[in-house]
Structure 1
Amino acid sequence: MSWSLVGLAAGIALGFAGYFGGFGAFVVVAVLGLIGLVAGRYLDGDLDPGDFLRPRDRGRDDDRPRTRPRPR
């Protein structure tokens, strides 16, 4: 199944929830969909829980400041 089809199905579900249930139902469906997406990605092996816990490397390869070249 392509991601476009998954996005279409999610959009339709959110549209129905928003139309028939109001804004509260829309938010509940969106949050539960996000939780399901994260759980599915974890079970597929595409998501490592350590990605959220490890600090990012904020350093660069070199210590030189990056500047734009001066116009001539």
Structure 2
Amino acid sequence: MSRDVLGLFVGMALAFAGWFGGFGAFLLVAALGALGFFAGHHLDRGGDVRDFLTPRERRGR
């Protein structure tokens, strides 16, 4: 799936959340979508979930 189509689906999901659920639902969908995006992006780069939980000093970076 191209990024354009994915962006279209995300925009439609946010629009439906805002229309039917109000502004609070819009913000919740946007925040959870951003969290999912960053987690997926991190895991695609070969990271591990444990990297989120350990301080940066202990990872040696």
After TM superposition, the score normalised by the length of structure 1 is 0.62
**Letter in structure 2 aligned against 1:14:** L
1:1-72 matched pairs, under 5 angstroms: 1-45=1-45
Instruction: State TM-score, norm by structure 2.
Output: 0.73
Gaps of 5+ in 2: 57-61
Uncovered stretches (5+) of structure 1, i.e. residues with no partner: 54-72
Deviation at 1:46, TM superposition (A): 7.3
More helix by share: 2
Aligned Cα RMSD in Å? Answer: 1.7
Moved runs in structure 1, 4+ residues, more than 6 A? none
Aligned residues: 49
Greater relative contact order structure (CA < 8 Å, 6+ sep): 2
Percent identity between matched residues is: 53
The higher radius of gyration belongs to 1
Task: Give SS of 2:22's match.
Answer: helix
